[in-house]
């Protein structure tokens, strides 16, 4: 099968399997809240982040509340999300920068987003896609694993994986593709023991056809 046909098949199958795949971090209409959740989601499940922030945002409803937070206190409050020292430091610093340099608004350019502490390429693409509808591929652990197994990349490095996927996937599919890779990684293509017998992508999957 030609690469173009293989990509089309994968996209169609993922759409059929996960028609409603969407970001599992809560989007409550407050852009800053979403940014905080995205920072907290590093090496933590979205479910855990959503639960924790439900109460966290009662104490710190806005940017200035986080900017005025005591790092040690905030760190304890987010401890269960992991990397709590680095995350509390990043959230406070980012809140300051947003208030001082961006008028309290979340910027939309990659460059500005990546300049914020706690925001890397993955979070920047997530923010751009979810808050601004700007196409970008969010390469998280599920996306990286599924893309490599399917032979859409041979790299383990997020930046290269993003380049490889961007080169073969139509731009208007980039946002939903990331969500569908995550859904597939959770539902069937687990890191350990993927359920290939139940997966309709088997015929085009390098991993399933390895000798
Ligand atoms: S066939 Fe197996 S390894 Fe390939 S995408 Fe499906 S679940 Fe993953």
pLDDT tens for 62-83 read: 999 999 999 999 999 999 999 9
How far is CA 147 from each of CA 25, 130, 163, 206, rounded to the nearest angstrom?
22, 21, 12, 10
Whether residues 146 and 175 fall in one domain: yes
Last residue of some domain: 132, 152, 181?
A: 132
> Is 5 an annotated catalytic residue?
no
Q: Return the HEC string of 171-201.
A: HHHHHHHHHHHHHHHHHCCCCCCCCHHHCCC
> Is 140 an annotated catalytic residue?
yes
The answer to whether the CB of 104 falls within 8 A of the CB of 63 is yes
Last residue of some domain: 132, 147, 166?
A: 132
Whether residues 38 and 121 fall in one domain: yes
Task: Among 6, 177, 188, 206, say which to mutate for ligand 1: greatest number of ligand atoms within 8 Å of CB.
Answer: 188
Average pLDDT over residues 117-122: 97
Boundaries of domain holding 170: 3-21+137-204
The pTM of the full predicted model, rounded to 2 decimals, is 0.94
Any idea what the CATH number is for the domain that residue 39 is in? Answer: 1.10.340.30
Whether residues 36 and 128 fall in one domain: yes
The one catalytic residue in 6, 87, 122, 164 is 122
pLDDT tens, 155-206? 999 999 999 999 999 999 999 999 999 999 999 999 999 999 999 999 999 9
pLDDT at residue 211 tops 90: no
Last residue of some domain: 132, 165, 193?
A: 132
pLDDT at residue 1 tops 90: no
Residue nearest to atom 2 of ligand 1 (CA): 196
Within a domain: 209: no
Q: For the chain, what is the total number of helices (H) and then of strands (E)? A: 11, 0
Cα–Cα distance measured from residue 176 to residue 150, given in angstroms and rounded to the nearest whole number: 17
User: 73 CA distance to ligand 1 centroid (A)?
Assistant: 43
pLDDT tens, 100-115? 999 999 999 999 999 9
Whether residues 38 and 127 fall in one domain: yes
Within a domain: 210: no
Domain count, the chain: 2
């Amino acid at each position: 099968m030609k690469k173009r046909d293989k990509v089309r098949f994968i996209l169609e199958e993922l759409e059929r399997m996960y028609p409603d795949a969407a970001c599992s971090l809560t989007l409550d209409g407050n852009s800053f809240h979403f940014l905080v959740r995205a920072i907290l989601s590093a090496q933590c499940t979205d479910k855990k982040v959503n639960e924790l922030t439900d109460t966290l945002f009662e104490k710190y409803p806005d940017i200035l509340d986080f900017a005025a937070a005591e790092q040690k206190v905030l760190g304890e409050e987010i401890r269960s999300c992991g990397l709590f020292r680095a995350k509390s430091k990043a959230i406070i610093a980012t809140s300051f920068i947003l208030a001082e340099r961006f008028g309290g608004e979340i910027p939309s350019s990659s460059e500005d987003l990546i300049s914020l502490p706690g925001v890397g390429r993955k979070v920047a693409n997530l923010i751009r896609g979810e808050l601004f509808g700007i196409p970008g591929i969010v390469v998280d652990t599920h996306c990286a694993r599924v893309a490599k197994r399917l032979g859409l990349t041979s790299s383990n490095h997020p930046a290269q994986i993003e380049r490889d996927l961007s080169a073969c996937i139509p731009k208007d599919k980039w946002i939903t593709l990331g969500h569908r890779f995550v859904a597939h990684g959770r539902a069937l293509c687990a890191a350990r023991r993927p359920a290939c017998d139940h997966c309709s992508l088997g015929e085009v999957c390098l991993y399933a056809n390895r000798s």
